[in-house]
Amino acid sequence: MDSPSLTTHLLSAFLPAELVDSIHTHLLHPHAPLQVLKRNAIVQVQRLFNAAYPILQPLFERLLNAMAENQGLVGVIASLLVLATILIVLNWIRRLLLWWTRLTLRIASWAFFVAVAAWVWDRGVFESARDVAVVGGKIVGYLAFLKDVWVDEYNRYEAQQGLAGASARGSGR
């Protein structure tokens, strides 16, 4: 199958007929501006390659000969290039993750502020302040309970360590 007929077939399978006709007329037709630009770019690249090849051929041959003579150095350089590439890609991934994390946290914080503002608008300032005081009191009470549990556990641990220390000294260890 030709690539144009395959392309036309795939386009007609996914897009409406008017859009397929427009794409064929404006993008895929041999006299379309995109196709003319593509042909001109290919001609220019081939012309540049043909002009540069005789100049660069001796340099490539010297480089290949030097690489053949120093294979250990080539291996080290290749390893360093692979390592540098990996580090660059990992840095891109890190920056992308940081960007998405910042975006997500900004969206979440603005959504929280909008929700609080809507809640205050709906309930009224005094009702909202009373609700905040009630919830804050419950949180402080829960934190006091956690503090008591933590202090009790800490004292129990200290008592166990004191007994273990006394028995270790008494046994002569």
Report pLDDT digits (tens) over 42-82: 999 999 989 988 998 999 899 888 888 888 888 899 999 99
pLDDT at position 116 over 70: yes
Question: How is residue 16 annotated by DSSP?
Answer: -
The per-residue pLDDT for 172 is: 55
Per-residue buried b or exposed e for 91-112, using 16+ beta carbons within 10 Å of the residue's own CB: eeeeeeeeeeeeeeeeeeeeee
pLDDT at position 166 over 90: no
The per-residue pLDDT for 163 is: 79
pLDDT at position 173 over 70: no
Interval 114-121 mean pLDDT: 95
The per-residue pLDDT for 147 is: 97
* Residue whose structure tokens are 């260890």: 173
What angle, 0 to 180 degrees and rounded to 10, lies between the N-to-C axes of helices 71-123 and 33-69?
130
pLDDT at position 169 over 90: no
pLDDT tier, 8 (very low <50, low <70, confident <90, very high otherwise)? confident
pLDDT tier, 171 (very low <50, low <70, confident <90, very high otherwise)? low
End-to-end CA distance of the chain: 88
Q: Among candidates 73, 70, 51, which has minimal Cα distance to 62? A: 70
Going by C-beta distance under 8 Å and a sequence separation of 6 or more, which residues neighbour residue 67?
74
pLDDT at position 117 over 70: yes
User: pLDDT tens for residues 16-25?
Assistant: 989 988 888 8
The per-residue pLDDT for 29 is: 86
The per-residue pLDDT for 1 is: 41
The per-residue pLDDT for 64 is: 87
